[in-house]
Structure 1
Amino acid sequence: MSIGGCANLVDTEAMRLCRSLIPALDQTATRVRIIETIETKTTREGVFAVALDYVTVRTTAPIPEQQPEPPQRIACTFSTRDWVSPQSSIDALTAVTSDASGALGPLRLQLLKRYWLERGEAAASDPAPYSDLGMRPHISRPLATLLQTLLSAAPLISIYALLAAAYALIYGLLGRINLAFGELTMLAGYGGFLGSAIILGSASSLALAIAFALITAIAHGVALGRLVIAPLSRAPGQHMLIATLGLAIVWSEAVRLAQGNGNRWMPPLLNRPWALAQSDDLTITATPMAFVVVSVSIFTAATLLITMKKSRFGRHWRAYADDPKAAALMGLSPHTIVTTTMLAASVLSGIAGLLMMLYYGGVGFSGGLATGLKALVGAVLGGLATPRSALLGGLVLGFAEAVWSALFPIEHRDAAIFALLIAMLILRPDGLFTPPAFRSVAAAPTSP
């Protein structure tokens, strides 16, 4: 991972922040069009800079008759030491130079941070590099707010669904919960990050990221299945809970000791937003990477459901889940079916970890446990007995989380999610979407 530590930290947030300064520094412009966004090389270590070339129009004539002025440039310098996450970009901004205002002094820069960037006016005035918004449909404000909320949450919703299905594969087969899936996702994210960092900037970096993420997840997952899950499949359920939770802590601490406490960030990929619709001052946007994440998740989920229904593995899985002893008498190897199931669940976790790393642009040692527990809430919500019901539960959980974030204080969101888990375990332990034939399995799992 040390190779990845040298990765370029410039991302969409740095570009957005620098763009947002243009209306404040060049207040006579009535219309701004971004020509190019580039990274500028600095002579000092520990800093990076973003430069934007743009043109302005200062007349009130109709747009076809307006004549843009000569291109201008604004450059923003950021400290890599203070850039611990995209949310810390304002604190990391250390210098601004523009053709309109020259180099800003420390006092003026601090005032811009405090009274412009930290308020909503900056985001609302962002001259983002969208194509002509006049060609986009205009919709009502409530519909626009709902649509933007769903578009922003769709990648995470799809990731929750994949992880929930991984939980259901193991629980539906053995009646046991593997609490290490979240950390397995984290390891896959680190594997993908390392793969992309080896040949950073090359067209092959994405292929290496995919390969490293899946290999990492499969290697750790199969080892987990052989060394922990298979030996404990006949033990009481709490034994596997304790063992997998302990292993999750070991994996997390090993990554922390090897890579440090900070997150690892990679250069942006397919993250320049598209304008999809408009409502007064609100522009509905989504990034190409968000569509990639959702599309890959849908394809993966569809492949899983078809495999479980029509393939030989799916038939063996259902037979063993229904009656392990009868399945063994018919020639099914318990060791083989458990290992194959763990392999399938590891692939789901690997894909989820890779998609999280690509969408958010980074990975950290501490993110796996929370993501895994939330996906478990989704699996319980839908029903742990079958992958299909768990997938649906993950979708419902992600949608509920998005709605809560839009309507209620976000600091209470996680508490509400885990309160939902407690309520479901008490009131509906078999889940909302578990088929009737499986409800007894979900409510009272039995040892094989």
Structure 2
Amino acid sequence: MAYFLQQLASALPVAALYALLAFGYSIAFAVTRRADLTYGALFGFSGQVFLLFSDFGWNRLWLVLPAALAMGAAAALIYTLGAGLLIGRSVMRGLAERSANAVVVVSLSVALVLMELSRIAAETRSLWLPPFLNTPVILWADPLFPVTLTAIQLLNIVSMAVVVAAGHGFLTRSVWGRYWRAVSDDAGAAALCGVDRGRVFVAAYGLSALFAALAGILATSYYGTMDFGAGLVFGVKILFIAAIGGQTAPLLAAAGAAAMGFAETLWSAYGPMLWRDFAIFSFLVLVLVLTRKEKLQP
């Protein structure tokens, strides 16, 4: 029983990360309506920038660790948000309006560019953060098998849940959120009602990049590093898991992604690790096929 509870506790950070990533991804997907690997690349890019500037502040400027981390987080937010707005305005907006299928191809190119930029900037070095906030917090004091999480895990879970809740509140209560829903439902009808769909498109891409940046910072703080290829891996994974709850409904996408985080962790605990990704992706493909609502045109 204690082992099962520990696995559930260990799944919480993964589920929270997937939920945050899926929530941000669905904001951009609602206006592009095409699979976009750029989001995962922005996630990895954020983590890499966070590492680079934290390392620079720690080893070159001799800052204390909190100041170096704050410097890295600020740089990651600025660079990732700027990259997201630039990509949304200069690349994806025109493609989505003229050739939607090209979004899929170009997003892979953009992902590769961001991955290579971060690799070249880091000189192909794997940077690691020094451990911090890794004190175990006992959740269930079993004398034989205590259930624990570290302080950084609990902080990440709470932070990600708060960000998702704040994002949902913003989308449902703000004027811009109503514009975003109008454009995602029917961009042509929204334009006839006076909504600037181009501006909403770019803003949605920027907001999505902001969620990717926050996820990258929090994930890198927890894992201590960010691999150069993580953006592509997470891009593909989020593309699938966000579809469980609905790629155009951010909160439902987050709920579906969280469920997959629990399933992935429990499979790792009780099933063969070699078959984990195969089983997870097979299940996701099956769900997508069974729930596909698009009808074939005669």
TM-score, normalised by the number of residues in structure 1: 0.62
Show the 5 A alignment for 1:156-167.
156-167=14-25
Aligned to 1:218: 81
SS of equivalent residue, structure 1 residue 365: coil
CA contact (8 A) 1:222 1:343 kept: yes
- Partner residue of 2:231? 368
Q: Contact between 2:14 and 2:262, CA under 8 Å: does it hold in 1? A: no
Moved over 6 A (4+): none
Deviations 1:187-230 (A, max 9, x none): 10112123322332343223222211211210111111012210
* Alpha-carbon distance in structure 1 between the residues aligned to 2:170 and 2:180: 11
Question: Do the aligned partners of residues 353 and 272 (structure 1) sit closer, same or farther apart at CA in structure 2, a change above 3 Å counting?
Answer: same
User: Within the alignment, does 1:298 sit opposite 2:156 as a pair?
Assistant: no
Q: Given the superposition, is the C-alpha separation of residues 394 and 222 from structure 1 closer, same or farther in structure 2, using an over 3 Å criterion?
A: same
Q: CA deviation at 1:173?
A: 2.2
* CA-CA distance at 1:421 after TM superposition: 2.5
The whole-number CA distance in structure 2 between the counterparts of 1:277 and 1:421 is 33
Q: Deviations over 1:359-415 (max 9, x none)?
A: 001122111211222222221111112111111111111011011111101121111
Counterpart residue identity of residue 317, structure 1:
W
2:126 counterpart residue number: 263
- Within 5 Å, give how 1:95-114 maps onto structure 2: none
Query: Deviation string for 1:331-350 (max 9, x for gaps)?
Result: 21122101110111001100
Letter in 2 for 1:210: A
Q: What is the aligned counterpart of 1:328 among 191, 207, 213? A: 191
Identify the residue that residue 385 of structure 1 maps to in structure 2: 248
Contact 1:195 1:211 survives alignment (8 Å): no
* Contact 1:271–1:288 (8 Å) recurs in 2: yes
**Quick one: which of 147, 158, 173 aligns to 2:31?**
173
Which structure dedicates a bigger proportion of its chain to helix? 2
The question of whether the paired residues in 2 share the 8 Å contact of 1:157 and 1:395 is answered with yes
> 2:125 & 2:268 partners in 1: Cα distance?
25
1:173-192 map, 5 Å: 173-192=31-50
C-alpha separation in 2, matches of 1:165 and 1:327:
23
Please give the TM-score of this superposition, normalised by the length of structure 2. Answer: 0.92
Tell me how far 1:260 sits from its aligned partner: 4.4
How do residues 10-49 of structure 1 correspond to structure 2 at under 5 angstroms? none
8 Å contact kept, 1:264–1:364: no
1:155 corresponds to which residue? Answer: 13
Please tell me whether the aligned partners of residues 377 and 417 of structure 1 are also in contact (alpha carbons under 8 angstroms).
Answer: no
Query: What is the CA-CA distance between 1:299 and the residue it aligns to?
Result: 0.7
Contact 2:17 2:215 in 1 (8 A): yes
Contact 2:243 2:288 in 1 (8 A): yes
1:422 aligned residue = 285
Structure 2 partner of 1:195: 53
Percent same amino acid at aligned positions? 32
Q: Indicate the structure whose relative CO is greater, using CA pairs within 8 Å and at least 6 residues apart.
A: 2
Cα distance, 1:261 vs. partner?
4.3
**What letter corresponds to residue 349 of structure 1 in structure 2?**
A
Q: Separation in 1 of the partners of 2:98 and 2:252?
A: 26
Report the counterpart of residue 61 of structure 2 in structure 1.
Answer: none
Deviation (angstroms), 1:272: 2.0
Determine helix, strand or coil for the equivalent of 1:203: helix
- Deviation of 1:233 (Å): 1.2
Superposed CA deviations along residues 238-290 of structure 1, whole A, max 9, x for unmatched, are 21000001111122133333424452101111012223324453221110000
1:107-152 CA deviation, whole Å, 9 max, x = no partner? Answer: xxxxxxxxxxxxxxxxxxxxxxxxxxxxxxxxxxx1x122211222
1:252 aligns with 2:110: no
Say if 1:188 and 1:349, in contact at 8 Å, map to a contact too: yes
Partner amino acid for 1:164? A
Query: For 2:219, what is the secondary structure of its paired residue?
Result: helix
Task: Find the aligned partners of 1:218 and 1:211 in 2 and give their Cα distance.
Answer: 11
Q: Which ranges in structure 2 are unaligned for 5 or more consecutive residues?
A: 59-63
Q: Residue type of the partner of 2:204?
A: T
* AA partner of residue 194 (structure 2): G
